[in-house]
Structure 1
Amino acid sequence: MQNKDLSTGKRSLRKSLLARRRQILPDDWQRLSESVVKSLINWPNFLQAQTIMAYMAMKDEVLLQSLIETAWKLGKRVVVPKMTGEFGQMNAVAIDSCSSWTVAAFGIQEPLDAPVVNPHAIDLVLLSGVAFDRQGNRLGMGGGYYDRFLSDTPQALVVGVTVSKQLVAHIPMDTYDRPVDVVITEKGFIYCNKRKQDLGHP
């Protein structure tokens, strides 16, 4: 598929899958999120990780607040994305229970005055997406923020966090798109990267 056709296909798929994702009711998001988080916080890779990159969920994404609080209680460092001001670029910044927040681009909460963390220090990355497939391919919002950022985190285990309704048979990928190693839904883990030898099982 040519790049132009690939981009067109992605836009069309993104539009339809966003519409499907928005049909999930808030109460259902809460229930599904609790199931996903329960699996994650009992997962050996979560328990072993010292620095975890999470995300601040939009209203139609899996909620990770309880996971973040659990990580703090276990003495882990939690980082989240923060836009740099340059389109497509973001940093990982450390947060704690005292962090102050603002609403940034796309309506996402971002911390104020949070210290930047070296991407090479991150053990586990949890990221959302419009959809995933079982090969670990991810459809994001189209900005390429994670694709650029993850090029600096080869050591991290990358986990796509979603719900089973947002799993699709195939997502078209470009050469610069970064697949995830694992996908987690309310139904459990899908291990995508067979080359990773450190994948623990719940």
Structure 2
Amino acid sequence: MSDLAAAKSAARAAIRHTRAQRSAAERAEVAAALTQLASQCPARSVAAYVPMRDEPGDLGVLDALAAGRRVVLPVIAGRGAPLQWGEYAGADALTDGPFGCRQPAADPALSLADVEWVIVPALAVTAAGARLGQGGGFYDRSLHGVPRERLVAVVHDDEIVATLPVDTHDVHVGAIASPAGLRRATTA
């Protein structure tokens, strides 16, 4: 394992540990803050995701986004494949996908060109928009070519950090959403 891969692995482990320690009350507060933020989203169409494991947010965030907006969600086609996309039609329409993900049915006609914002999960992000994901590479493979200013990472407030180990293929985001609000990433 390279030094960079080891640094990423260590950072992921530390953040996952911290997330696992959050109380149910804290998770509910974070979800409520993100739901309020989602209800104010100015975009008319967004790509988002179903939070899994200890990721911030819940289905209420998706429902708030879907109120008056078109929402598409990622569909995992297989390990190493780029993400496909499907229309969000409510929690009852989601099915179990790979890696414990809940996802809609894929619609081959959908692409990220169809949405204004792409909201992505992250374990951590820097003020400059460097994003640390779960390590599968799905978003990095799927987001190349999407303008950075359309990409929004969702994290807890304490997951906005000074530095992260990054590789040349890692996609940077243009904005950061956390319970404290939405902020633009710097251009560093």
Instruction: State the TM-score, normalized to the length of structure 2.
Output: 0.88
| 1:99 positional shift | 5.6
Q: Which of 187, 192, 199 lines up with 2:185 in the alignment?
A: 192
Q: Which of 142, 151, 173 lines up with 1:149 in the alignment?
A: 142
1:17-76 deviation per Cα after TM superposition (whole angstroms, max 9, x unaligned) = 11111111122111112112212322xxx22x22211111113112242232233331x2
Could you tell me which residue of structure 1 aligns to residue 21 of structure 2? 23
Could you tell me which residue of structure 2 aligns to residue 36 of structure 1? 34
**1:91-170 equivalent positions in 2, closer than 5 A:** 91-97=84-90, 100-111=93-104, 113-116=105-108, 117-154=110-147, 157-170=150-163
RMSD of aligned residue pairs (Cα, Å): 2.2
| 1:174 positional shift | 0.6
- Describe the shift of the 1:156–1:39 C-alpha distance in structure 2 as closer, same or farther (beyond 3 A): same
Structure-1 separation of matches of 2:9 and 2:182: 27
Write out the 4+ residue segments of structure 1 that deviate beyond 3 Å after TM superposition.
Answer: none
Could you tell me which residue of structure 1 aligns to residue 67 of structure 2? 73
Instruction: State the TM-score, normalized to the length of structure 1.
Output: 0.83
Structure-2 separation of matches of 1:127 and 1:19: 20
Structure-1 separation of matches of 2:89 and 2:50: 13
Could you tell me which residue of structure 1 aligns to residue 168 of structure 2? 175
Structure-2 separation of matches of 1:18 and 1:179: 21
Asked if 1 retains the 8 angstrom alpha-carbon contact of 2:85 and 2:106, the reply is no
| 1:194 positional shift | 4.4
| 1:91 positional shift | 1.0
